[in-house]
Amino acid sequence: MRDLTLVGLSEDLGYAVLRDAEGARFRVPADERLRAFLRNDRARLGQLEIDMDSALRPRDIQARIRRGESPESVADVAKVPVEKVMTYAGPVLAEREHMCARARASTTRRRSSAGSAIALGELVDAGLRADGADPDAAVWDSWRREDGRWTITVRVGDEAADYVFDPPGRYAVPDNDAARRLVGDVEPPADTSDMAIATAVAAPSDPLVAPTAGAPDADLDEPGVTSLKQARARRAMAQDQLMLDAETGMPGRPVADRDGLDADAEPTVDLEETAEQVRAASGGDAAESRSRKRRDRRRVPSWDEIMFGRADT
């Protein structure tokens, strides 16, 4: 290996010019890699080396690892050794492991259970024991979804149970049948017995509404009534007429006309006839009252009678 001495930059500043002991000149591209070398920036040098040798950028490598790919598969796509991929995959793999631990401690939302919240790890371990499997043999893994949540996978043998974990909400939801079976999220079978069917048929689909206290009576349903105020006015007038009949001895509606009515039905009163009777009774009472007042009041003599005396005296 020959020693080279730096002469300077080329005229276009695109190359570094070097010279050996015999005077032969060499040039090296003055690119970012050379500048990082001169600054002794080893991290930048390593990244530039991967950029030049790999088909994927470091950011792309981490994104693939975060979406659940293995370092080996990413190394095959990038066409670089696995050791170079692990330089950037290590922090992301630690993040995936951390999400599994958080999901195990989170609550589990189940459709068929309304009891107290139970941690996902406890339910999964209990389900594995019920199946005769060792919870310590289960492999937990996670990967980030497009919506920002994480899929938690519990694998025992060839079967994988998937759960959707929401980090802000700190809860997990079963995402496939294997996951629901492990945590006991199984809907009860429908009751198809004869008694259940008979009960469903007998149950009224549209139950009757019980009348409430103070509800309007049948007067509101008559054609001529348009408001509660009018109905009350009609009832008050009918009651006044009945009281007037009782006081004055005026005959009401014949009993024979009321025989066909229900016992609970209210008597029907002709409003025009009632009004005439009320006016007639009121007029008669007023005339009798005025006549009585005139008889009781003492007569005052006029001026002529005082001066000339009364004619009949």
Asked if pLDDT for residue 215 goes beyond 70, the answer is: no
Cβ atoms within 10 Å of 311's Cβ, excluding its own: 7
pLDDT of 30 reads 79
CB 1 within 8 A of CB 9: no
Upper half-sphere CA count for residue 44 (Cβ side, 13 Å): 11
Q: Which of 197, 145, 144, 185 is nearest to 161 (CA)?
A: 185
Band (293; pLDDT cuts 50, 70, 90): low
pLDDT winner (highest mean) among 121-125, 205-209, 268-272: 121-125
Measured CA to CA, the distance from residue 135 to residue 142 in angstroms comes to 17
Q: Which segments of the chain does DSSP mark as H helices, in order?
A: 32-38, 42-53, 58-66, 71-78, 82-105, 120-130, 177-182, 194-202, 228-248, 255-258, 271-296, 303-308
Q: How confident is the model at residue 257 (pLDDT cuts 50, 70, 90)?
A: very low
Residue 171 has pLDDT above 70, yes or no: yes
Mean pLDDT of the chain: 72
**Considering the chain, what percentage of its residues have pLDDT values greater than 90?**
28
- Residues 123-169 pLDDT 10s: 999 999 999 999 999 999 999 999 999 999 999 888 899 999 999 99
User: Can you tell me the mean pLDDT for 174-190?
Assistant: 81
pLDDT tens track for 218-239: 444 444 445 566 766 777 776 6
